[in-house]
């Protein structure tokens, strides 16, 4: 049941990330989310047994699932750290990170091959965790995951205050909390591995409910944190589009009155052509033409009433505001941002 819940949560995250697929240049988070979702889906009993039967009923699906998980965690961590620290040091660390990831995958395969199994098992570590190779197999995976999420969590908490937008700061905080629960999860798994090796099955079962809670908590905070940026951006774009449409509508009459004598220099010659352009682009071009017309013919200013001047002022403030704010913030904090 816990695997089904975790898989459903991460697939919901994938859907959220797909909303802004065309607008984003970097799809590392989406790739990582899909990889982790596949890993969790393979651990659902019915899916596991179906795929493992195709592969000969030797629990190869467990190995594939764990490899997918560490690969997904690596790419997720890399994407988050790159977003927090967009500098060359992150790119340089990718080589070492890939070497470590490849080493972990090789070690997982080697330790798995030494485990003595008896056919498909949907409870791989429960059934075989008493064997040293199985304990090593589990420990390799979770020590690696623990290391990666620890670095990621520390990075999120360290740089969350440098994000330009509040929802980015919320996202990094949520991801950092999720990483904290993930570290707790790793410690619980390692403890259960040791207890299983020493035959302390009762103690291992006592820890199991805490493990389940840690899984849900880690997945919840991580998924929420990763989903906040694309969802928030989508909401903001809709609000901005509505504001821009309203400003364009208010500015159109002023634009027509002030530029009607300057048809030959209009960038946009009529309202039909305007309607085919992006609202922000339309607003900018119309405002520039109005300002140019007023500059060339100062007498046109007398035809503008208070309402017209307020519209021009609102359009200028809207177009200049985001740029001015971003420049000011970047001068104070550096050019850090999170695209998610």
Q: Percent helix, strand and coil across the chain, each rounded to 5?
A: 85, 0, 15
Is residue 135 a part of any domain in this protein?
A: yes
From 296-300, 313-317, 323-327, the region with the lowest mean pLDDT: 323-327
Is residue 274 a part of any domain in this protein?
A: no
Q: Which domain holds residue 165?
A: 1-86+94-239
pTM comes to 0.76
Contact by Cβ (8 Å): 187, 146: yes
As a whole number of angstroms, the distance between CA 126 and CA 166 comes to 44
Is residue 5 a part of any domain in this protein?
A: yes
Q: ∠ CA(290), CA(296), CA(300), 5° rounding?
A: 60
CATH, residue 59: 1.20.1070
As a whole number of angstroms, the distance between CA 158 and CA 121 comes to 42
State residue 151 phi and psi, 5-degree precision. Answer: -60, -40
Sign of CA pseudo-dihedral 85, 172, 229, 32: positive
Confidence of residue 240 (pLDDT cuts 50, 70, 90): confident
Is residue 98 a part of any domain in this protein?
A: yes
Could you report the per-residue pLDDT of 1-18, keeping only the tens digit for each?
778 888 888 898 888 888
State residue 33 phi and psi, 5-degree precision. Answer: -65, -40
From 14-28, 198-212, 247-261, the region with the lowest mean pLDDT: 14-28
Is residue 13 a part of any domain in this protein?
A: yes
């Amino acid at each position: 049941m816990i695997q089904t819940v975790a898989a459903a949560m991460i697939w919901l995250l994938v859907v959220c990330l797909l909303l802004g697929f065309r607008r984003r240049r970097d799809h590392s988070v989406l790739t990582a989310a899909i990889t982790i979702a596949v890993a969790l889906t393979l651990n659902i009993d019915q899916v596991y047994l179906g795929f493992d039967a195709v592969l000969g009923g030797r629990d190869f699906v467990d190995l594939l699932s764990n490899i997918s998980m560490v690969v997904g965690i690596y790419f997720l961590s890399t994407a988050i750290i790159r977003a927090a620290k967009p500098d060359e040091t992150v790119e340089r660390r990718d080589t070492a990170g890939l070497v470590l990831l490849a080493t972990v995958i090789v070690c997982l395969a080697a330790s798995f091959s030494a485990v003595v199994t008896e056919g498909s098992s949907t409870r791989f570590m429960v059934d075989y965790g008493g064997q040293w190779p199985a304990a090593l197999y589990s420990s390799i995976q979770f020590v690696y995951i623990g290391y990666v999420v620890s670095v990621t969590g520390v990075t999120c908490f360290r740089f969350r205050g440098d994000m330009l937008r509040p929802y980015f700061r919320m996202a990094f905080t949520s991801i950092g909390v999720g990483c904290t629960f993930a570290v707790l999860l790793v410690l619980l798994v390692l403890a259960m591995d040791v207890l299983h090796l020493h035959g302390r099955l009762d103690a291992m079962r006592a820890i199991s409910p805490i493990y389940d809670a840690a899984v849900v908590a880690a997945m919840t905070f991580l998924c929420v944190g990763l989903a906040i940026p694309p969802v928030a951006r989508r909401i903001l774009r809709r609000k901005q589009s509505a504001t821009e449409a309203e400003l364009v509508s208010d500015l159109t009459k002023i634009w027509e009155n002030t530029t009607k004598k300057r048809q030959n220099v209009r960038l946009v010659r009529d309202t039909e052509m305007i309607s085919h352009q992006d609202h922000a682009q339309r607003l900018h071009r119309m405002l520039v033409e109005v300002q140019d017309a007023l500059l060339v013919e100062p007498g046109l200013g007398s035809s503008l009433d208070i309402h017209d001047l307020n519209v021009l002022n609102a359009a200028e403030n809207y177009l200049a505001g985001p740029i001015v704010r971003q420049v000011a913030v970047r001068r104070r904090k550096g050019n850090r941002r999170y695209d998610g």
